[in-house]
Structure 1
Amino acid sequence: MWGELESIGRHAGSGGYRRFAWTGADTDCRAWFRAQAEARGLTLELDRNGNQWAWLGDPAAGDAVVTGSHLDSVPDGGAFDGPLGVVSSFAALDELRGRNARFTKPLAIVNFGDEEGARFGLACVGSRLTAGELTVEQAHRLTDADGITLPQAMEAAGHDPDAIGADPERLGRIGAFVELHVEQGRALDLTGDRVGVASAIWPHGRWRFDFRGEANHAGTTRLMDRRDPMLSYAETVLAARREAQLAGAVATFGKISVEPNGVNAIPSLVRGWLDSRAADQATLDTVVHGIEKAAREYADAHGIHLDVVRESFTPVVEFEHALRDEIARLLGKEDGGKSAHLNVPVLGTGAGHDAGILSGSIPTAMLFVRNPTGVSHSPAEYAAEDDCVAGVTALADVLEGLACK
């Protein structure tokens, strides 16, 4: 399965992946998913929001156990973030069939669309729409860097944008959703464990900072006469690092656009996007408030107008304790699966996931597979094959415990 996925959306220059929502690479990933489902005799469904579901058993029976993740990527992302969860889900089903497991509940493998938000700037669009956390009106206003709206992109890819929206009936059929993911950090590497269980997802959000100044000639305008928004932006980037470090949080300006974007022109507008995350809401509020306060002080000092817009926000997600504890029991039990006696540390994460979005509607949980370097959202992202196999085995044990009682 890895070999078939390896070349899809991979950029020859960077070695990273550019699998953006509703593009050719996304279509090819969806075709791969369809082929995997058909090869296993699963029933494939494409829901109203473009998410793919591969079903074993009758979806209408209810109390289904669902696993999966996503196949899209960040710009020049790695091979494991998302795809490891989908590939492992199919592999776990193969493992269970090899054990002659008898399913007593429907099982589904899902590929959620546009999880990374690389094209339209909002993460987890497919799951947000399904859970009703993104309205149809909000979704229709999403636009990519080329001015193409989400409805236009969906229609060009052959999907009806007028069909999108909350899908409570589908979620009502699901008894549990378990998402396997490569760890985006080094907690497991530091403890020496191959697999971990998620406890919670930190609250996180994205804020857009618009610094508006005055365009002018870079060679003839005196320094004292300039209203250069780049200065305020640069100082704000440093303030973000300082505020995050003081609070034990994280804050990153990872995207920027400049107008008119000329080497010999003082900018009229610098627009930067802040991503910030913290272990609790109060800390996150403190960090973002501190960054905005510093940004306004810098902007005032340079004669710059500043607008700050919160574009997305996800509060802290505490995965359901009963499901989390059951998974830990299944992986550590002495009288069952191949993961017997497996040490399964419980750890939090600063990364958002579809499981976090769905947690407000259905019981969800996550498994993490060790990342030896902690690098993610990069072509250098990596997980060793034996750790990936351990993840598949652990996922199979969990699915057997939940769906084969």
Structure 2
Amino acid sequence: MPYEPRQLTINAKRLNETIHETCEWGAAHRWGDAPTETGMCRLALSDDDKLVRDWFVKEMTNLGCEIKIDQMGSIFAIRKGKKDGPPTAMGSHLDTQPTGGRYDGILGVQSAVEALRTIHDAGLVTEYPIAVVNWTNEEGARFPKSLHASSVWSGELSLQDAYALCDVANPGVSAGAELDRIGYKGTVLACHKANPLAAHFELHIEQGPVLESHGQRVGVVQGGQAYKWFNIRINGRDSHAGTTPFDYRADPMLAASQFILAAHQIAKEHHGLATTGIFHLQPGSINTIPNVVEFTLDIRHVEDEQLARIEEDIRAASVKIAANDNARFKCTIDWEVLFDNSATKFHPLCTGAVEKAACASVPSEQVRKIVSGAGHDSCATSRICPTGMVFIPCREGLSHNPREFSTPEDCALGAQVLMDAALLFDSQRTA
């Protein structure tokens, strides 16, 4: 018989306690007086990341799960079902942004842990194996590749390139070396063919204001918008700030400011987004015109074709900026693609399961079909296996910020929908 949503009930108190207890590893950026009113800085493959991984492995082992760690350090905790086969997975990530909060990614893993606890406490044996996955370096904050490990699993990034990625703050440290250092470079092949999943479900805070502004409580995510990351390097000529007239300058700082402004204007014209999050210049002297400026560019749109047009128009604008007809000396602008993620559409079997689960917990008018503006590990898994996502509101739509917050009630609701959707999918599987 198909599983009926709300046949089991999430332990809301236990979930909330687990979220905050495990946030002791990486707690930072206090913003209030309460013990839980800090943000998080738990960068991928850091010492704090190792500690929360150790906790996760121990907790899942106590529930009788088989633990598999792949070559990228992603942890698969698998609970047996009545039949053999690839597991129905619930997954997200435990790493955070440098000034992150307590919910982005973290909630998805901890809610999946609570779902398995609830299933275990009830003595329910699923039709097929069910799993919780902690994916390595989803954020790309320390090692600049969003969906780092899940992209290796899906075949979009080679293991060699993934290992070679260097720490943005310490270029002498590679992801491969840090996996070795913290003891989480596993032996399971980081490949969907060797380590398949039947489906992937993920709970996440919305990271935007749509649900909250409409008074709605659950987002049934239909897919994710396309986005592309670049490193932009503008080469100029360093010279004295007091003796070099404007028309004798090749000023990469001026060109960079014009570039960023143009990128924002172009993205807005196409109803997309553009962001610069990392910025460096050399030599860094108050009275010297820089000779090199480097910065990141993140562009996004819900449609692949429009994203391509945004990139095309920004590249055309950058050529004009570099030419600078009023100056005798010219800058050059180099583009390096860091990440390219096409628009994602989630599987109807999974979105249907999420919608049914959501409507079993709240009135249908509190449920909204929504597109994710951010990238998630589910965007990578969706290339390979049926995938679905659940969104819950976050206060003021704020994320990647220490004040990031979702109520305990909404967290429990999201966990309930996540568990019910995964169990519903499992009960309807034929292989």
Q: Above 0.5 in TM-score? A: yes
Distance 1:265 1:60 in 2: 69
Distance 2:82 2:140 in 1: 28
Which residue identity does 2:359 align to in structure 1?
G
Distance 1:307 1:263 in 2: 25
The 8 Å contact of residues 114 and 124 in structure 1, kept in 2 or not, is answered as yes
- Choose the corresponding residue for 2:117, options 55, 73, 94: 94
Change (3 A) 1:11 1:330: closer
C-alpha RMSD of matched pairs (Å):
2.3
> How many residues in Structure 1 have an aligned counterpart in Structure 2?
399
Shift of residue 247 of structure 1?
1.1
Distance 1:404 1:163 in 2: 28
1:192 corresponds to 2:215: yes
Aligned to 2:22: 5
The 8 Å contact of residues 241 and 288 in structure 2, kept in 1 or not, is answered as yes
1:358 corresponds to 2:354: no
1:217 corresponds to 2:240: yes
- Choose the corresponding residue for 1:41, options 17, 41, 64: 64
1:153 corresponds to 2:170: no
Distance 1:329 1:2 in 2: 26
Distance 2:216 2:121 in 1: 26
The 8 Å contact of residues 331 and 342 in structure 1, kept in 2 or not, is answered as no
The 8 Å contact of residues 140 and 150 in structure 1, kept in 2 or not, is answered as yes
Shift of residue 288 of structure 1?
1.6
Distance 2:342 2:425 in 1: 28
- Choose the corresponding residue for 1:290, options 297, 313, 316: 313
Helix, strand or coil for the counterpart of 1:311? strand
Aligned to 2:369: 346
- Choose the corresponding residue for 2:393, options 345, 370, 373: 370
Shift of residue 216 of structure 1?
2.1
Structure 1: 5+ residue stretches without partners? none
Structure 2: 5+ residue stretches without partners? 1-17, 32-37
- Choose the corresponding residue for 2:161, options 124, 134, 138: 138
Shift of residue 290 of structure 1?
1.6
Distance 1:61 1:229 in 2: 59
Which residue identity does 2:177 align to in structure 1?
Q
Q: Deviations over 1:140-188 (max 9, x none)?
A: 43222322222222222234489764341211xx221101111111111
Helix, strand or coil for the counterpart of 1:166? coil
Q: Deviations over 1:85-134 (max 9, x none)?
A: 01111122233345553422111111000101111211111111111111
Which residue identity does 1:141 align to in structure 2?
A
Shift of residue 60 of structure 1?
8.9
Distance 1:100 1:344 in 2: 30
The 8 Å contact of residues 184 and 376 in structure 1, kept in 2 or not, is answered as yes
- What TM-score results when the alignment is normalised by the length of structure 1? 0.92
- Choose the corresponding residue for 1:306, options 320, 333, 342: 333
Change (3 A) 1:371 1:69: same
Distance 1:60 1:281 in 2: 40
Aligned to 1:169: 194
Distance 1:225 1:289 in 2: 30
Percent identity between matched residues is 29
Distance 2:208 2:29 in 1: 26
Aligned to 2:12: none
The 8 Å contact of residues 186 and 373 in structure 1, kept in 2 or not, is answered as yes
The 8 Å contact of residues 78 and 376 in structure 1, kept in 2 or not, is answered as yes
Helix, strand or coil for the counterpart of 2:71? coil
Change (3 A) 1:11 1:327: closer
The 8 Å contact of residues 339 and 393 in structure 1, kept in 2 or not, is answered as no
- Choose the corresponding residue for 2:350, options 300, 307, 323: 323
Which residue identity does 1:166 align to in structure 2?
C
Which residue identity does 1:55 align to in structure 2?
I
The 8 Å contact of residues 26 and 48 in structure 2, kept in 1 or not, is answered as yes
- Choose the corresponding residue for 1:387, options 410, 425, 431: 410
Which residue identity does 2:372 align to in structure 1?
T
1:263-274 map, 5 Å: 263-274=286-297
Helix, strand or coil for the counterpart of 1:72? coil
Shift of residue 376 of structure 1?
1.0
Shift of residue 202 of structure 1?
0.6
1:55-70 map, 5 Å: 55-57=78-80, 61-70=84-93
